[in-house]
Amino acid sequence: MRKGFFFAFEGIDGCGKSTQIAEIAGKLQNDVIPYHITREPGGTVIGEKIRSILLSPENNEMSIHCELLLYLASRAQHVQEKILPALQRGEIVVCDRFQDATFAYQGYGRAVPLDTLRNLNAFATGDLAPDCTFIFDLPVQEASARLKQTGKAPDRLEGNSGEFYEKIRKGYLDLAARDPDRYAVFSGMEPVHLLAGRVYEKIMQIMNTNDTLSREG
């Protein structure tokens, strides 16, 4: 039985989601709430090996189908080995990307039909979905500038065109508009600490609401 809560942080590369995850981890720790921070692709020994294949610029010849199946393979292992056990222990799981990255990147970005992606993803995850997906929206030019400021060489995904990332940004916003109860969209332009406070408030609201419903049920 699932006792914990599952939150995914999403957005185009450079949107600031990793910074927000670090902020939220600090708040959970201060409030002595058990949590598990993880990422995709990765999160397990097997997943991290798949991540290195997916993100290496040496693999630019990778086909769309190969890319998709590698992401799903990493996710399948991740769910079974790390995410479900943490949820069963009653922990708060915060994941840097999950299923909506597939819908946005491979769906809107690579033009793979969303119905196909949803079916394959359901098989990989056993229908596990986040309680809420937080989307940090940021203009593509601003995200690109932030990535350049890091001085890090772009990985295989980051090396894609601005047009590709415009499609992904639109994809995230479309997904959120279609199912507003399962998404929370925030501007990645907000000051880090202010934004983290708003995100944490939303997380606490979701947890408290579900606890109340559980007791009433």
- The DSSP string of 140-162 is HHHHHHHHHHTTPPP-TTTTS-H
CB under 8 A, 24+ apart: contacts of 159-164: 159/57, 159/60, 160/109, 164/109
Q: Which residues contact 65 (CB under 8 A, 6 or more apart)?
A: none
**pTM > 0.75:** yes
Q: Is 106:66 a contact under the CB 8 Å cutoff?
A: no
- Distance CA(98)–CA(1), nearest Å, equals 21
Quick: pLDDT tens for 39-83.
Answer: 999 999 999 999 999 999 999 999 999 999 999 999 999 999 999
Q: Which residues contact 46 (CB under 8 A, 6 or more apart)?
A: 74, 77, 81
111 backbone φψ class: left, alpha, beta (φ>0; ψ -120 to 50): left
Quick: pLDDT tens for 84-111.
Answer: 999 999 999 999 999 999 999 999 999 9
Token code pair at residue 23: 């902020």
Look up residue 106 and give its amino acid. Answer: Q
- Distance CA(217)–CA(214), nearest Å, equals 5
Mean pLDDT for 179-194 is 97
Using the predicted structure, report yes or no on whether residue 215 has a pLDDT greater than 50: no
Quick: pLDDT tens for 113-151.
Answer: 999 999 999 999 999 999 999 999 999 999 999 988 888
- Paired with 36 in beta bridges are 93
- The DSSP string of 82-137 is IIHHHHHTTPEEEEES-HHHIIIIIIIIT---HHHHHHHHHHHHTT---SEEEEEE
**CA neighbor of 121 nearest in space, from 175, 176, 74:** 74
Q: Which residue has 């910074």 as its token pair? A: 19
**CA neighbor of 187 nearest in space, from 20, 27, 8:** 20
